[in-house]
Homo-oligomer: A and B are copies of this chain.
Amino acid sequence: MIGIFDSGIGGLTVVRSLMKQLPDYDIIYFGDTARTPYGSKSPETVVGYALENTQFLLKQGAKIVVMACNTASSVASDSVAENFDIPIFEVISPASVKAVKSSRNLIVGIIGTRATVKSGIYEKKIRAMKPEAKVYSVACPLLVPLVEEGWLKKPETVMIIKKYLHPLKVSQIDTLILGCTHYPLLIDKIQRKIGKRVTVIDSSIALAENVKDFLDTHPEVDNLLGKKGEFKLFVSDVTEQFEKTAEATLKRKVLLEHIKL
């Protein structure tokens, strides 16, 4: 199975993208809803959570693990890769590669959680490829709760997006990375506020493409993965709200299985 984890249910945007790219592959998802959100917590705490989540997915039979959470990818992907001997995918590199390819003037904007922005990881990845690139980051900590509340179209949400994007507009970015798996649910509003001329990179799509490319070129790993279109969804806490948002993201009925880590 392909194992995927996220701090909550935002990572289901990655599942949605994976189901498009690899429709028959068996997927097991773990959303750490009992400890969500990660984006405002310290790197040490998030590393501990990421190791526990990966361990859980391996026990459930995952043969590759996808970190569908920008915060965890930012601060914990090295630790996870060191501790487990299977292919680990993180969301930062694929989005960075895509941004560099698409950018004309190499002025790139990033929006993400406080932890992701503070890690500086997108800047590092992009500058490693293009040292001359200018990268501007803005932490948007209120967008996750707004998405989780389902306030996707409210005027307050649009005002807050406008406020967050203002410095990036002033910096004349031509490419914007959505550095949090919750943000694709706001992509229309974000595109409208940043302007039509800016290419918006959905990190969840970039990650799914990256996984597909890897499996296409690594049949020895691909052969380990089941392809019966099975989907299992585990969460560390169950609430009605999580269920609703999960169904809205995947556009199908879901059954949340509760587990305690």
Contact = CB atoms under 8 A, between A and B. Distances in A.
Given A141-B149, A156-B159, 14 more contacts: A35-B35, A41-B239, A42-B238, A42-B239, A45-B236, A45-B237, A114-B239, A114-B241, A142-B149, A145-B145, A155-B159, A156-B156, A156-B160, A156-B163
A191 interface: no
A148 interface: yes
Interface in A113-163: 114, 141-142, 145-146, 148-149, 151, 155-156, 159-160, 163
Copies assembled: 2
B40 A239 contact: yes
Interface in A10-61: 33-35, 40-42, 45
A contact face: mostly helix, strand, loop, or mixed? loop
Given A142-B151, A156-B156, A160-B156, A237 B114 contact: no
A155 B156 CA distance: 9
Contacts of A34: 35, 41, 45
A41 B45 contact: no
Contacts of A40: 148, 239, 241
A149 B155 CA distance: 19
A197 to B, nearest CB: 26
Q: Which of A145, A146, A151, A238 has the most CB of B within 10 A?
A: A145
A114 B240 CA distance: 11
A239 B115 CA distance: 10
Nearest to A157: B156
Contact of A142 (B114, B146, B241): B146
11 contacts: A41-B239, A42-B237, A42-B239, A45-B237, A114-B239, A142-B142, A142-B145, A145-B145, A155-B159, A156-B156, A156-B163
